[in-house]
Amino acid sequence: MYSLQTLPIELVHRIFDQLDIQTIIFSIRSTCKLLYAITNTYNRCALNFRYTSKSDLLLMSLIIDPKNVISLTLSDENETHSEIRFMFSHFHIDQFTRLRSLTLSNIKYDDLEKFQKHIMNYPLKRFSISSNILDSTKIATSISFILSHHNLREFEFDGSEQILNEIQWPVSCRLEHVTIAQWYSWSTVYFVLSHLPFLRALVLKDDSAGVSFKHSIITQYDIKQLCHLSSLSLNSRYNLTTDNIQSLLVHLPMLTHLRLIGLQHLSDIFLFDGFQWENFIEKKLSALKKFEFWFRKQLNPHEDNTTVESIISTFRTSFWLKTKGWFVKCDHVENRYGQQLYLYSTTICQDSFDYLNGENTILRSATNNMNNHSAVIINTQRLSLDLNKYISNDTQQNTNGTTQYLFQNVRELTLMIGSHWPMRSIKYLSTILNLSNLQIICLHCKHRSHIETHGLDAVIGTLFKYTLNLRSFQINCNNFQTMLSMSLNDICLKLPHHIKHLATDIINMNDAKMILERAEHLSNVTFYRRDTYSFADEINIWLRQHASDSICKVGRDFRFSSYNDELHFPVHIWLNNSLHKQSNTPVSEKRVKRTHYT
């Protein structure tokens, strides 16, 4: 039988490549002298401190040699406020001499400037940054300098339009892959393409809600050099038109991969015409091998089920089925917003897929390959489900012989809980997604619904057993007293040790104390209260009394307010794991009765 101790060192290091740094340092390294030595020589460390407590980060700074680190991810998000500056205090950033990938989330200019002084000495190939600071000129200047790095090949940006517009793309820039998380106009597309002659792949997401998208096409840029682009992905919340898309695509004759995602209702009927696409692709995009798309439009009252057949028939030519082998599906659905039509490739790629309002009734469905029963693969990082409705609808559709949806690569799962948790729900979830891939689970109790809590703790416990890579658990009880009590006693106080972040609504300070004292394995906690600032003051006083170096911050967050229209400013605590050791008061293991303010 093989064990880590009997394997060659290089093979053990390859196994380490698939593990997080906390597992390597805190679980494997202390097993025996041999693994201690093998761990110390591992030189492909990927540091991501998203779910790392302050005390663990400090300990890792004493153990890990910066020269052995090839990837570094730092965040100043609400859950880990001041993490970047804490990192500066305990690591010598000038010693990351083998760093190939750097991700900085919500970084401030002063911190970026510190990195900038050393980045040019790193063999950096990938750089990702997100920032919401208002001084766009300073941050854009720093980014422009970093982009001149001669080794840099991949760049990801998530920030304001002002910062993006002020970036000066160096003449020496050799970027091959660029991702922009928020794009605001077609001129953004042309500007980026015209300044990056070595670009091979461009991904443009539109994750920003409420941005005034500019529709006009601007073509004054020199775009003759764009023949090198081989992959383009456009994801837009705003109206896409054939003219806008084709005006861009005619300059990209070497495209082999094209992805178009229209998240809102589209008015251009030509986007739903397979003959139009076939004619354009044959003439202008002859190298195209992979075409993924998702379009939808609102149907007029006079349109009926024959609309589906008339549209899908345009995708049943030999070009689609034989030459390209591209399979397309069209659904005519009805929900509370009226009747809609969805047209999509049967492999769907979206960053997030929302079934929370999944009240769709499929009136008619058809595919271009005549097999309406084939599964539709949805490749998404974030999935939202109204579990009761989805299981009910899916069972009914399977009875009628319609399509099953399978979700690949889901990392974040949001589940809406109705009056009860559906029977066999865990087994059902395991058939539509890989539970072992989940890193974040969010549970939301429906507003104004009576929740049956009997047996729910056992179901959640079973779910935890199937999600061993889960790192964050978030539960919104929506102020239901019974659910809040069950959540505290049977879930929040009994979280498995592999969960490092907890977010929950809370009634009073005593409940918060119990969670902070018992959950010694947590690295950060988020509490939701209506009297946020007075509650945060209480937390800070309590932390000081316990000589804790934990950081408490009030941060804006809309995640738990989406369903009751209330704006929350939750309290985020980045924990020092020594907190529970400093408490002199033993915590009873018996069930806790919640107290209430009068």
Q: Is the pLDDT of residue 35 over 70?
A: yes
Q: Is the pLDDT of residue 449 over 70?
A: no
What is the chain's mean pLDDT, rounded?
Answer: 82
Mean pLDDT over residues 87-101, rounded? 92
What are the residues facing 75 on neighbouring strands?
105
Mean pLDDT over residues 497-504, rounded? 92
- Rounded distance between C-alpha atoms, residue 134 and residue 203, angstroms: 25
The DSSP code for 178 is E
Q: Which residues contact 477 (CB under 8 A, 6 or more apart)?
A: 445, 483, 484, 487, 504, 505
Query: What pLDDT does 372 receive?
Result: 63
Query: What pLDDT does 561 receive?
Result: 44
CB 500 within 8 A of CB 472: yes
Query: What pLDDT does 304 receive?
Result: 67
What the block records as the tokens of 177 is 């892959």
pLDDT digits (tens, 9 = 90+) for 302-343: 776 678 999 999 999 999 999 999 999 998 888 777 888 999
Query: What pLDDT does 482 receive?
Result: 63
Q: Is the pLDDT of residue 582 over 60?
A: no
Query: What pLDDT does 1 receive?
Result: 60
Mean pLDDT over residues 103-129, rounded? 91
Side-chain half-sphere of 312: how many Cα atoms within 13 Å?
26
- What is the helix (H) or strand (E) element at residue 430, kind and residue range? helix 425-432
Mean pLDDT over residues 11-39, rounded? 93
Query: What pLDDT does 586 receive?
Result: 42
Task: At 75, give phi and psi (nearest 5°).
Answer: -145, 135
Measured at the alpha carbon of residue 503, what is the angle toward residues 499 and 508, in degrees to the nearest 5? 125
Read off the pLDDT band of 458 (50, 70, 90). Answer: confident
CATH class, domain 434-449+463-587+594-598, is: alpha beta
What the block records as the tokens of 28 is 């494997």
Domain residue spans of the chain: 434-449+463-587+594-598
pLDDT digits (tens, 9 = 90+) for 184-201: 677 777 888 888 889 999
- Rounded distance between C-alpha atoms, residue 188 and residue 198, angstroms: 17
Residue 191, classed as helix, strand or coil, is: helix
Query: What pLDDT does 207 receive?
Result: 54
pLDDT digits (tens, 9 = 90+) for 398-432: 545 456 788 889 999 998 887 677 777 888 899 89
**pTM of the entire predicted model:** 0.85
Q: Is the pLDDT of residue 100 over 90?
A: yes
Query: What pLDDT does 293 receive?
Result: 94
Highest mean pLDDT among 68-72, 388-392, 401-405: 68-72
Query: What pLDDT does 213 receive?
Result: 44
Query: What pLDDT does 212 receive?
Result: 37
Residue 557, classed as helix, strand or coil, is: strand
Query: What pLDDT does 349 receive?
Result: 82
